[in-house]
Amino acid sequence: MTIKLLVATRNPGKVEEYRTLLADLPVEITWLEAEGITLDVEETGISFEDNALIKALTYARVSGLLTWADDSGLEVDALGGWPGIASARHAGPDATDAERTQILLRRLQGVPYERRTAVFRCVVALATPDGQTWTASGASSGVITESPQGEGGFGYDPVFYIPKYGRTYAQLDPAEKNDLSHRGRAARKAKILLERYLKSVGSGDQ
Protein backbone atom coordinates (compact mmCIF):
# COMPACT_ATOMS: atom_id res chain seq x y z
CA MET A 1 0.00 0.00 0.00
CA THR A 2 1.33 3.40 -1.01
CA ILE A 3 0.42 6.44 1.08
CA LYS A 4 0.50 10.01 -0.18
CA LEU A 5 2.93 12.11 1.84
CA LEU A 6 2.68 15.89 1.71
CA VAL A 7 6.03 17.63 2.06
CA ALA A 8 5.00 21.01 3.44
CA THR A 9 7.21 23.32 1.42
CA ARG A 10 7.21 25.49 -1.68
CA ASN A 11 10.93 24.94 -2.14
CA PRO A 12 11.53 22.47 -5.02
CA GLY A 13 15.08 21.88 -3.79
CA LYS A 14 13.79 20.51 -0.50
CA VAL A 15 11.23 18.35 -2.28
CA GLU A 16 13.91 16.72 -4.41
CA GLU A 17 16.16 16.11 -1.39
CA TYR A 18 13.33 14.38 0.43
CA ARG A 19 12.28 12.44 -2.67
CA THR A 20 15.78 10.99 -2.80
CA LEU A 21 15.93 10.24 0.93
CA LEU A 22 12.52 8.54 1.00
CA ALA A 23 12.70 6.80 -2.38
CA ASP A 24 12.64 3.29 -0.90
CA LEU A 25 9.48 3.83 1.18
CA PRO A 26 5.92 3.15 -0.04
CA VAL A 27 5.02 6.83 -0.18
CA GLU A 28 3.96 9.08 -3.04
CA ILE A 29 5.66 12.43 -2.46
CA THR A 30 3.61 15.54 -3.14
CA TRP A 31 4.08 19.15 -2.08
CA LEU A 32 2.11 22.34 -1.55
CA GLU A 33 2.27 23.57 -5.15
CA ALA A 34 1.19 20.20 -6.54
CA GLU A 35 -1.81 20.10 -4.17
CA GLY A 36 -2.85 23.67 -4.96
CA ILE A 37 -2.45 24.69 -1.32
CA THR A 38 -1.98 28.46 -1.11
CA LEU A 39 -2.24 28.83 2.66
CA ASP A 40 0.89 30.31 4.24
CA VAL A 41 1.34 29.18 7.83
CA GLU A 42 2.66 31.82 10.21
CA GLU A 43 5.66 30.41 12.06
CA THR A 44 5.01 31.78 15.53
CA GLY A 45 7.04 29.24 17.53
CA ILE A 46 10.11 30.02 19.61
CA SER A 47 12.08 27.01 18.40
CA PHE A 48 12.68 25.00 15.24
CA GLU A 49 10.59 22.18 16.73
CA ASP A 50 7.67 24.50 17.46
CA ASN A 51 7.62 25.81 13.90
CA ALA A 52 7.98 22.38 12.31
CA LEU A 53 5.03 21.10 14.36
CA ILE A 54 2.90 24.16 13.56
CA LYS A 55 3.44 23.59 9.83
CA ALA A 56 2.98 19.82 9.94
CA LEU A 57 -0.24 19.93 11.96
CA THR A 58 -1.79 22.80 9.99
CA TYR A 59 -1.07 21.36 6.55
CA ALA A 60 -2.11 17.85 7.61
CA ARG A 61 -5.46 19.25 8.74
CA VAL A 62 -5.93 21.37 5.60
CA SER A 63 -4.89 18.66 3.14
CA GLY A 64 -6.17 15.56 4.90
CA LEU A 65 -2.77 13.98 4.18
CA LEU A 66 0.06 12.57 6.23
CA THR A 67 2.40 15.57 6.34
CA TRP A 68 6.17 16.01 6.62
CA ALA A 69 7.37 19.49 7.55
CA ASP A 70 10.67 20.87 8.65
CA ASP A 71 12.08 24.02 10.12
CA SER A 72 15.75 24.73 9.88
CA GLY A 73 18.15 27.58 10.30
CA LEU A 74 21.67 28.78 10.72
CA GLU A 75 23.11 29.70 14.12
CA VAL A 76 26.28 31.79 13.84
CA ASP A 77 28.38 31.82 17.00
CA ALA A 78 29.90 35.28 16.49
CA LEU A 79 26.39 36.72 16.12
CA GLY A 80 25.00 35.13 19.29
CA GLY A 81 23.15 32.42 17.37
CA TRP A 82 21.59 34.83 14.84
CA PRO A 83 19.73 34.40 12.50
CA GLY A 84 18.43 31.16 14.10
CA ILE A 85 14.71 30.61 13.64
CA ALA A 86 14.56 33.84 11.61
CA SER A 87 16.99 32.46 9.00
CA ALA A 88 14.42 32.50 6.19
CA ARG A 89 12.58 35.63 7.32
CA HIS A 90 15.01 38.18 8.74
CA ALA A 91 15.21 40.17 5.49
CA GLY A 92 11.47 40.23 4.86
CA PRO A 93 9.06 37.92 3.03
CA ASP A 94 10.17 38.87 -0.48
CA ALA A 95 13.94 38.68 0.03
CA THR A 96 15.94 36.22 -2.06
CA ASP A 97 18.43 33.67 -0.76
CA ALA A 98 21.23 35.86 -2.13
CA GLU A 99 19.93 38.94 -0.31
CA ARG A 100 19.68 37.12 3.01
CA THR A 101 23.17 35.75 2.52
CA GLN A 102 24.61 39.18 1.77
CA ILE A 103 23.12 40.58 4.98
CA LEU A 104 24.77 37.76 6.92
CA LEU A 105 28.14 38.39 5.26
CA ARG A 106 27.94 42.12 5.97
CA ARG A 107 27.30 41.41 9.66
CA LEU A 108 30.37 39.14 9.71
CA GLN A 109 32.63 41.58 7.86
CA GLY A 110 36.02 41.70 9.59
CA VAL A 111 35.34 38.64 11.75
CA PRO A 112 38.34 36.26 11.43
CA TYR A 113 37.99 32.68 10.14
CA GLU A 114 38.35 31.04 13.54
CA ARG A 115 35.37 33.01 14.88
CA ARG A 116 33.08 32.39 11.89
CA THR A 117 31.88 29.03 13.22
CA ALA A 118 28.22 28.13 12.79
CA VAL A 119 25.74 25.30 13.15
CA PHE A 120 22.92 24.40 10.79
CA ARG A 121 19.97 22.86 12.67
CA CYS A 122 16.87 21.11 11.39
CA VAL A 123 13.79 19.58 12.97
CA VAL A 124 11.46 17.38 10.93
CA ALA A 125 7.89 16.94 12.13
CA LEU A 126 5.42 14.32 10.93
CA ALA A 127 1.70 14.80 11.51
CA THR A 128 -1.45 12.90 10.66
CA PRO A 129 -4.76 14.65 9.90
CA ASP A 130 -6.09 13.44 13.28
CA GLY A 131 -3.26 15.14 15.18
CA GLN A 132 -0.66 12.46 15.85
CA THR A 133 2.87 13.91 15.72
CA TRP A 134 6.51 12.83 15.80
CA THR A 135 9.72 14.88 15.55
CA ALA A 136 13.40 14.28 14.80
CA SER A 137 16.35 16.67 14.77
CA GLY A 138 19.76 16.97 13.14
CA ALA A 139 22.71 19.39 13.15
CA SER A 140 25.85 20.05 11.12
CA SER A 141 28.82 22.27 12.03
CA GLY A 142 30.77 24.48 9.66
CA VAL A 143 32.34 27.87 9.04
CA ILE A 144 30.87 30.88 7.22
CA THR A 145 32.97 31.88 4.21
CA GLU A 146 33.69 35.50 3.29
CA SER A 147 31.95 35.13 -0.08
CA PRO A 148 29.62 32.62 -1.77
CA GLN A 149 31.26 29.54 -3.27
CA GLY A 150 29.51 26.99 -5.50
CA GLU A 151 26.38 26.89 -7.59
CA GLY A 152 24.42 24.05 -5.99
CA GLY A 153 21.97 23.88 -3.13
CA PHE A 154 19.89 26.78 -1.86
CA GLY A 155 19.63 29.17 1.08
CA TYR A 156 22.93 29.69 2.86
CA ASP A 157 24.58 26.67 1.20
CA PRO A 158 27.15 28.76 -0.77
CA VAL A 159 28.64 30.24 2.43
CA PHE A 160 28.45 27.20 4.73
CA TYR A 161 31.92 25.65 4.53
CA ILE A 162 32.71 22.13 5.78
CA PRO A 163 36.42 22.00 6.74
CA LYS A 164 36.54 18.19 6.53
CA TYR A 165 35.49 18.33 2.88
CA GLY A 166 37.18 21.60 1.98
CA ARG A 167 33.98 22.73 0.26
CA THR A 168 30.73 24.55 0.95
CA TYR A 169 27.35 22.82 0.90
CA ALA A 170 26.84 24.38 -2.54
CA GLN A 171 30.00 22.67 -3.84
CA LEU A 172 29.00 19.19 -2.69
CA ASP A 173 27.08 16.81 -4.91
CA PRO A 174 23.55 16.03 -3.65
CA ALA A 175 24.52 12.62 -2.22
CA GLU A 176 27.41 14.12 -0.23
CA LYS A 177 25.23 16.90 1.08
CA ASN A 178 22.43 14.54 2.12
CA ASP A 179 24.96 12.39 3.94
CA LEU A 180 26.28 15.12 6.23
CA SER A 181 23.70 17.91 6.24
CA HIS A 182 21.49 18.90 9.15
CA ARG A 183 18.44 18.15 7.01
CA GLY A 184 19.78 14.77 5.92
CA ARG A 185 20.51 13.77 9.51
CA ALA A 186 17.09 14.86 10.76
CA ALA A 187 15.40 13.22 7.79
CA ARG A 188 17.07 9.85 8.34
CA LYS A 189 15.81 9.84 11.93
CA ALA A 190 12.35 10.93 10.80
CA LYS A 191 12.38 8.24 8.13
CA ILE A 192 12.61 5.59 10.86
CA LEU A 193 9.56 7.13 12.56
CA LEU A 194 7.73 7.23 9.24
CA GLU A 195 8.54 3.58 8.55
CA ARG A 196 7.10 2.61 11.94
CA TYR A 197 3.93 4.55 11.21
CA LEU A 198 3.53 2.97 7.78
CA LYS A 199 3.94 -0.49 9.30
CA SER A 200 1.32 0.29 11.93
CA VAL A 201 -1.10 1.48 9.25
CA GLY A 202 -0.43 -1.64 7.20
CA SER A 203 -1.11 -3.89 10.17
CA GLY A 204 -4.12 -1.88 11.28
CA ASP A 205 -2.41 -1.11 14.60
CA GLN A 206 -2.39 2.64 15.12
129/148 Cα distance (integer angstroms)? 41
Neighbours of 46 (CB within 10 A): 8
Residue 136 bridge partners (DSSP): 124
**DSSP assignment, residue 157?**
G
The C-alpha atoms of residue 19 and residue 191 are separated, in whole angstroms, by: 12
- The CB density around residue 45, as the number of other CB atoms within 10 Å, is 16
User: Has 70 been annotated as catalytic?
Assistant: no
Which residue is catalytic, options 24, 40, 50, 71? 71
Catalytic residue numbers, as ranges: 71
